[in-house]
Each structure stands twice: as C-alpha cells, then as structure tokens.
Amino acid sequence: MLKQLQLVALTCGLVSSGLHAAPAQQPPVQLQPLIAAMELRLEIANDVARSKWHSGKPVQDSERERQVIQNAESRAGEFKLTGDDVREFMTAQMEANKMVQYARIEQWRETGHSPEKPDVSLTDGIRGRLDTLLPVLVQSYSAFQPYRSDTRCSGWVQSQIQQQTGDPVIVTALQRATGDLCRTTALQ
C-alpha cells in the first residue's frame, strides 16, 4: 500500500510540475515547408491516379521508382545528406504517393464515377512536376535534419499534418510520408 501511495505522489508531483513548465516550443520554421512539399507531392498523386485510371497503367511502377530514387541519391551530397538518408526519405514519399493513388482508384471503382482526364499526360507533364518538386523536397528535408532527434519532433510533425489538409486520404498518406522523419518519439 505504501508503495502505491508513493507512486501516486510521484505521479502527482510529475504532473503538477508540468503545469508550471514553459509552453512547448513551437515547431522549427523548417518543418512547415517540408510538410507542404510532401503534401504537394501527394496532391500531384491525384493527377497520377487519374492518368493511370484512364490509361489502364498499374499504380506500381518499379522502374520509375528506381529512377526517382537514383536521381535523388545522386544529388544527396548537394544537400549535405547521405545516399541512405535520401533513399529512405524518397522511398517513404513514393509509398505515400502510391497510397493516394490506390485510395483514389478504389474510390472511383466504388462510386462508379470516372474522374476527368488530366490536362497533361503522365510522362509529358505530371512527372515533370514531380521532377521539379524533387530538389525542393530534398532541400526542405535537409534543412529539417537538425530537428529529427528532438523529442518533440513527432508532436511537431503531427501538428503540422493536421494544419495542412482536411483530406483524410492525404492525411493518412502524410502519416506514411513522415513515418521515419523523426528519429525519436515524444515521451508518452
């Protein structure tokens, strides 16, 4: 019984000491552009899905993924990153992108509603937008590197995701895209 009372007292002491602590630090300014670039890439995934829907191409395109990852890895030094970091990061972005594509195609199948054809083809326009976004995405990732080990990182990321979008498909995909962004998790 005494040990239980001590545990309760210790817990109450920890909780009450937190009431007087300084407010949590705001996320670093480098996080918002990173999450915004990730979200933009996922928004482009909607166009990729529409293009694949109309062309009948499968969502999985291993050759294209390999090309994108190799391109990003070849530029890792330019952004003061390792090839492994860039590969891990871009793999997460591509997996999140596929989540959006699969979700949209499933929605269209379920509703029987075919989406409008994109204004540009996958190879002529949509991939160009993704290629143009790549250095912005990797530069933003590089700028966020010093904050990845902060114990508040996961909380910052979740807060930014919720501020970015109300689309549940994009929110879920952003969760995947940021899954390995933080090297630690916040204390629970």
CATH of the domain at 137: 1.20.59.10
Report the C-alpha gap between 27 and 9 in whole angstroms: 32
Residue at 72 is within a domain = yes
Q: Could you give the number of structural domains in the chain?
A: 1
Residue at 186 is within a domain = no
pLDDT at position 166 = 82
pLDDT at position 127 = 87
Q: Are 37 and 140 in contact (CB under 8 A)?
A: yes
Give the model confidence (pLDDT) of 57-81 as tens digits: 999 999 999 999 999 999 999 999 9
pLDDT at position 3 = 39
CA terminus-to-terminus distance, the chain:
26
Report the C-alpha gap between 160 and 163 in whole angstroms: 5
Q: What is the pTM of this model?
A: 0.81
Residue at 182 is within a domain = no
Residue at 18 is within a domain = no
Residue at 9 is within a domain = no
pLDDT at position 26 = 80
Residue at 2 is within a domain = no
Spatial CB neighbours of 79, under 8 Å, sequence gap ≥ 6: 86, 135, 138, 139, 141, 142
pLDDT for residue 40 is more than 80: yes
Residue at 1 is within a domain = no
Residue at 10 is within a domain = no
Domain span holding position 43: 28-177
CA of 61: how far to CAs of 57, 68, 94, 170, in Å? Answer: 9, 11, 10, 20
The confidence band for 11, taking pLDDT boundaries of 50, 70 and 90, is very low
Report the C-alpha gap between 136 and 68 in whole angstroms: 14
Assigned token pair, 56: 């009948």
